[in-house]
Structure 1
Amino acid sequence: MDLIAHILLFIFSFLILFFSSSFLIESLKKISRFLKWKEFVVSFFTIAIATTIPNLVVDVISALNKVSILAFGDVVGTNICSLTLIIGLSAIISKAGLSVPSRTVQGSAIFTILVAVLPLLLALDGNLNRIDGILLLSAFLFYLSWLFQKRERFEKVYDKDVGSQNIKSFLKHVLFFIFSAVLLYLAGRQIVNSAIFFSKYFYLDLGIIGILIVGFGNALPELSFTLQAARKSQDWFIVGDVMGSVILTATLVLGSVVLISPIENLELSPFFIARIFLLISALFFLVFIKTGKKITAREGYFLVLIYFIFLTFEILTQIWLK
């Protein structure tokens, strides 16, 4: 009975997480229009932060519950999903592929890949301590300083032709944002509780649950947003969101988690397959971005295939270990 209850609560919590994240993203977009934020800021920060909030909520709650390993698995799993399934499906739906001629995107691509694998490098000694957390947060601050160096990146105003909005409408969206954030917190707390229960019930490592289930679930809001953007051919929005999301989860989110609750005696064997596929995903993402400054539909299919191969290997490995 406990198992069925936890499964239902787990699914229900992810549904709340998905819809509240969607509301939060829409609220932030409306707030961005009212404040006349720049297109670049909306893409790389506003939306990336909004789609990363589920990770931040779930992972910080994990840290507060002294199960930071769940957060580590979530970060790895989410970033694999972002660099393969999300960007791949977006390229397929966009038909003409994702065009990425921007110098900012090209430069950010290299940093994105380096940051994506940074947690793996820091964890090689079997620990992620507070010094590692400071290094991750420093990498995030370094990226911010690099982005803000050139003013021309902020010239174009996001959705400037939508018409004026009154202060009443603005305040309504702020309230929606706060309400969505509260729902996110409640859903995140239940997801962590259920993940701990599943780990004990099925004798699974919490890191594996983070990689396969929590990581994918937390990526759903980002997947929904990028697919909508792909239908509108908003290539800059998609690539900016994905890269911003990868950077935020690997630095700001994981760095915050490790500062709250360091991961000691980290057993890396459950992450063997995930580490390999994160490196493969990062490599092909960078190659596709750099060749022709475009991710084609064919390359999108290849990235999606990588994700499903990864899932197959992970699931078969867990079955074999049992």
Structure 2
Amino acid sequence: MTYLLFVLGLVALFFGGEYLVRGATAIAKHFRLSPMVIGLTIVGFGTSAPEMLVSVQAALAGQPAIAIGNVLGSNIANILLILGLSALIAPLIIPVRKLWRDLGFMLLASAVIWVMLLDGNVTRLDGALLMAGLLIFLIVAFLTGKAEDDDAASGDMPQWKAWAMTLGGLVVLVIGARLLVDSSTEIARALGISEAVIGLTIVAVGTSLPELATSVIAAIRKQTEIAVGNIVGSNIFNIFGILGTTALIAPIPSEARFAAIDMPWVAGSAIGLTVLAFVLGGLPRIAGVILLVTYAGYVALIGS
């Protein structure tokens, strides 16, 4: 029964995220935001809703390892697994002239949370600082992100339907997140696996399904700005928004392994993506293969 609830949770997260993204994107287009800003904010944050719900609920349930592991694991999977798979399907062009500031925010967020994890506790003050970082990012993104005439796309979905899909998707995500946290914790304990590893792998990948679906579909449709912006925006929101909100609700004690083992992978993947963006201007298929092989190595390392 536990495994069935786990699968149902993943399915709910996928479909809830899909409807949330479609509705939120239509709302954003109605207000004539550029595809890059849609990817960085509406889609990136929308697809991070499962991570938000899982981390908050895990922290409140006294499972801090899942709360932190979920965020760090999702950020690693977003770049290595999701962008790797997307680049394998269709080479991704990364528009550095539009994205350099946001790549910088992603690197800054990674550095800030690494420092916070070093003392073994993410406090309410830390949470407030993280939320301030999110607010600054949002202000910068929206002030510089109005669509140009040739860049904007008018939404063909009625606004009432867009809002209904957005709210309905959020409700389904809440249900899926609850099922996922409860069932994954039971599975971890039954198999003798630490909650940290479960949060870093199974839960992290499960809550990243909306990002996976969005970026892969965007890659197939040659919508590079949505595919890449979705991941960069999601990674920024995961740290500033999710851990910030979670710490404000309840301070999060952190295992030493997160700062020592997992944060180097979070920072390394963010730096790697930034270097590839500036040096190659994107992710060719060979880069996608390298990212996927690297992710397989990470999973093998933490699972050993």
Render the CA deviation track for 1:184-230: whole Å, top value 9, x for unaligned: 11111111111332333233322221101110101111111101110
Note the 1:1-322 alignment, pairs <5 A. Answer: 5-94=1-90, 97-150=91-144, 153-156=146-149, 158-160=152-154, 169-264=158-253, 266-269=254-257, 272-315=260-303, 317=304
**Which amino acid in 2 is paired with 1:284?**
G
* SS of structure 1 residue aligned to 2:160: helix
Contact 2:47–2:234 at 8 Å: present in 1 too?
yes
Report how many residues are paired.
303
8 Å Cα contact 1:229-1:238 kept in structure 2: yes
CA shift for structure 1 position 34 = 3.9
Which piece of structure 1 moves more, 225-234 or 187-196?
Answer: 187-196
* 2-structure distance, mates of 1:274, 1:217: 18
Are the aligned partners of 1:32 and 1:158 in contact in 2 as well (CA < 8 Å)? Answer: no
- Deviation by residue 1:32-88 (Cα, 9 ceiling, x = unmatched): 344444434322111111111111111121122232321100000000001111111
Q: Secondary structure at the match of 2:277?
A: helix
Deviation for aligned residue 1:290: 1.2
SS in 2 for 1:83: helix
Instruction: Kindly provide the amino acid, as one letter, of the partner of residue 108 in structure 1.
Output: D
Structure 1 pair 158–247 and aligned structure 2 pair: CA distance change class (3 A): same
Report the more deviating stretch, 38-47 or 121-130: 38-47
Counterpart Cα distance in 2 of 1:243 and 1:54: 16
Other structure's SS at 2:48 match = helix
- Looking at structure 2, the residues matched to 40 and 193 of structure 1 have their Cα atoms a distance apart, in angstroms, of 35
- The CA deviation string for residues 261-309 of structure 1, in whole angstroms up to 9 with x for no partner, is 1123x22136644233223312211210110322222112111111111
Given that 2:32 and 2:147 are in contact with CA atoms closer than 8 Å, whether structure 1 keeps it comes out as no
Where does structure 2 lack aligned partners over 5 or more consecutive residues? none
8 A contact 1:274–1:310 mirrored in 2: no
**Which AA in structure 2 matches 1:25?**
V
Instruction: Measure the CA separation in 2 of the matches of 1:218 and 1:150.
Output: 30
2:12 aligned partner, one-letter code: I
TM-score w.r.t. the length of structure 1 is 0.87
**CA–CA separation in structure 1 for the residues paired with 2:277 and 2:239:** 20
C-alpha separation between the residues in 2 aligned to 1:296 and 1:48?
A: 22
Gap regions ≥5 residues in structure 1: 318-322
SS of equivalent to 1:111: helix
Distance 1:195 1:7 in 2: 8
Distance 1:70 1:101 in 2: 34
Which runs of 4 or more aligned residues in structure 1 lie more than 6 Å from their structure 2 counterparts after TM superposition?
A: none
Larger Rg: 1
What CA distance in whole angstroms lies between the structure 2 residues aligned with 1:64 and 1:308? 31
Letter in 1 for 2:285: A
Q: Distance in 1 between matches of 2:100 and 2:28?
A: 25
Q: Which amino acid aligns with 1:298?
A: I
- Structure 1 residues 227 and 260: CA distance shift in structure 2, 3 A: same
